[in-house]
Structure 1
Amino acid sequence: MSAPSTAAAHRGLRRFRAPAPPPPERCELCGIELAGRHRHLVDTRNRGLACACPPCALLFEQAGAAGGQFRTVPDRFLSDPDHRLDDVVWDRLRIPVGVAFLLDNTTLGRAVALYPSPAGATESELEPSAWQAVHDATRLAGLLAPDVEALLLRRTEDRIECHLIPVDLAYELTGRLRMLWRGFDGGAEARAALADFFADVARRAREPHEEARRP
C-alpha cells in the first residue's frame, strides 16, 4: 500500500485540530475589543441590538443622543407582586405560550408583544385595548422605558409573574430557548432554563417603591 501524499496527510490532521476560537467581540460603534459581559445599545432605526463599550454606553444613556437612533439598555429589574394581571388580561394578549415580553416600540409607534418559539422571538400584534388593560393591571407598564426595557410576563397554573427587565435579556432568553427547544412545548431542558431565568430575575428585582428611594 502506498503512503498517503503530504497534502492528504495534512487534510487528515486538520480533522483532529481544535476549532479556532471565535473572534473577540468588539464595540459596534468605536471598534474597541470587549472583555466579558458588556452593555448593549438599541438601534431604534434598524430595530436591533449593538454591543457597546462602557464609554459608548455612557454616551448614549441620555434619550435623544445622536438623534435618538441609539439608546443604552439600562440595568434595572423591577417586580410588581401586587399586580392585577389575570387570565382575562392574559387572554386579551393572544399569546399562544406561557411567556411573553411586551415593549413600547417608538419606531412602530405602538406596543408589541414577543414570545419565545422554536424560531426565536416571534412578534405578535398587540391591540391598544389589550395594552391599556396591562397598564391598568400593573404599575410597571407605566415605568417602562420605551425601546430599552421589557415587561416580562409568565403564566403558570396558579399565577402570573410580572417583571420589568432590560430588553437585551429578553432577547437573550428567547435565543437560549430556541437552542434548547424540543418537541411541541419546548421540552424539559427549555423549561428548566426558563425556571432558572425567572429565579434570577426575581432575585435581582426590586419593587417600584424601592426603586424610587434609590439615590
Structure 2
Amino acid sequence: MCAEPLDERHGHAVDTGTRALLCVCGACRMLLSAGGTVVQGRYQAVPERYLYVPSLRMSEADWTELQIPVRTAFLFHNSALGRFVAFYPSPGGATESLLDLSAWDRVLAANPGLPTARPDVEAYLVDRREDGFACYLVPIDACYELVGLVRVHWKGFQGGPEAARAIDAFFDRLRRRGEVIAETGRPAGPDLAASAAARTRGASGGDRGRGGDAGGRQGSGPGSGRACAGDGAGREARP
C-alpha cells in the first residue's frame, strides 16, 4: 500500500470499494485500525482477534436452509450492501450463497452472547461437525486462507484425504489460537427475531459491527504473523 518493504509478518487492509485485500506495513495498519486517524475511510485494517465458540446454537434445519454444500461457511456484514453475506470455500474459490439469510438471523437470536464481528474485516466462520456446529470469529483474511487451502488441496468431487487433513489442521490451529467463548445461548423466546434484526441493523456501527470480505495470496496459518491469505492461486478474491 506504501513504499515500505514487507516481510511475511505483515498486516492486511480491506479496500471497501473494490473488496480487495491489501498488504500493509505496521504504520499503515495502525492508521487504518479502529481508533486510527483514517479509520472511517475507504481502507479498513484487518484486526487480529480470534474467538472460538465450541457449541454454536444452530440447528440442522438452519444449515439446510442456507444450502451450504460443504462443511464450512463464513458470514460477514458487508457495509456497502448493508447486510450479511455468506460464502463457502470451493475448488473455484469463495462461492457466495445467494439465498435468503433469515436462518442466520435465527442463529444470531439464539446466541445473544456471541461477540459481534466488525463490518468488512471480521467474519463468523462456521464448521459443521458430527456433534454439532462450532463457530470462530476471525479476521477476514483467515477465511480466505481457508479458501486457498481448499483450492490447492481439493481433488475430485469430495475433496479427498489431503484436503480433509488440510482443513482439519486449519481448524485445529484456530482452536489453539482462539479465546474460548463457552456459552452464547439462551432459551428461545418471542423476542428472538426482533433481537436478531436489531443486531443486524446495528452491525454497521463501529467496533460492534460485523464481518468483511477481501482476498489475496495463500498464507501459512491462521494468524501466523499476518501472512497473506487468499485463493491459493495468487489472485485477489473479490466476492
Alignment TM-score, normalising by the size of structure 1: 0.78
**Quick check: 1:41 aligned with 2:19?**
no
Superposition deviation, residue 83 in structure 1: 2.5
3-state SS, counterpart of residue 96 of structure 1: coil
Rounded to whole Å, the distance in 2 between the matches of 1:132 and 1:54 is: 36
- Unpaired segments ≥5 residues, structure 1: 1-27, 210-215
Name the aligned partner's letter for residue 174 of structure 1.
Answer: V
**Higher fraction of helix:** 1
**Quick check: 1:121 aligned with 2:89?**
no
Rounded to whole Å, the distance in 2 between the matches of 1:129 and 1:142 is: 19
Rounded to whole Å, the distance in 2 between the matches of 1:194 and 1:55 is: 33
Q: Deviations over 1:66-105 (max 9, x none)?
A: 6431111110111223431121221122211111011111
Rounded to whole Å, the distance in 1 between the matches of 2:24 and 2:164 is: 31
Do the aligned residues in 1 keep the contact of 2:58 with 2:133 (CA within 8 Å)? yes
Rounded to whole Å, the distance in 2 between the matches of 1:34 and 1:165 is: 23
Superposition deviation, residue 159 in structure 1: 1.7
3-state SS, counterpart of residue 81 of structure 1: strand
| Residue of 65, 84, 97 corresponding to 1:92 | 65
Radius of gyration: which is bigger?
Answer: 1
Rounded to whole Å, the distance in 1 between the matches of 2:99 and 2:113 is: 17
Name the aligned partner's letter for residue 21 of structure 2.
Answer: L
Rounded to whole Å, the distance in 2 between the matches of 1:121 and 1:100 is: 9
Rounded to whole Å, the distance in 2 between the matches of 1:148 and 1:33 is: 23
Superposition deviation, residue 126 in structure 1: 4.8
Rounded to whole Å, the distance in 2 between the matches of 1:126 and 1:149 is: 21
3-state SS, counterpart of residue 123 of structure 2: strand
Superposition deviation, residue 125 in structure 1: 2.3
Per the alignment, residue 179 of structure 1 pairs with 152
Per the alignment, residue 8 of structure 1 pairs with none
Alignment of 1:99-138 (within 5 A): 99-138=72-111
Rounded to whole Å, the distance in 1 between the matches of 2:148 and 2:114 is: 24
Do the aligned residues in 1 keep the contact of 2:55 with 2:135 (CA within 8 Å)? no
3-state SS, counterpart of residue 54 of structure 2: coil
3-state SS, counterpart of residue 122 of structure 1: strand
| Residue of 58, 65, 68 corresponding to 2:41 | 68
3-state SS, counterpart of residue 62 of structure 1: coil
Superposition deviation, residue 197 in structure 1: 0.5
Per the alignment, residue 24 of structure 1 pairs with none
Do the aligned residues in 2 keep the contact of 1:141 with 1:151 (CA within 8 Å)? no
Per the alignment, residue 180 of structure 2 pairs with 207
Greater RCO, CA 8 A, separation 6+: 2
Do the aligned residues in 2 keep the contact of 1:42 with 1:148 (CA within 8 Å)? yes
Per the alignment, residue 19 of structure 1 pairs with none
Name the aligned partner's letter for residue 127 of structure 2.
Answer: R
Rounded to whole Å, the distance in 1 between the matches of 2:177 and 2:161 is: 25
Rounded to whole Å, the distance in 2 between the matches of 1:57 and 1:31 is: 14
**Quick check: 1:54 aligned with 2:26?**
yes
Rounded to whole Å, the distance in 1 between the matches of 2:120 and 2:85 is: 10
Rounded to whole Å, the distance in 1 between the matches of 2:101 and 2:153 is: 33
Q: Deviations over 1:89-129 (max 9, x none)?
A: 21122211111011111112211111111101111125241
Rounded to whole Å, the distance in 2 between the matches of 1:65 and 1:124 is: 32
RMSD of Structure 2 on Structure 1 (CA): 1.9
Alignment TM-score, normalising by the size of structure 2: 0.70
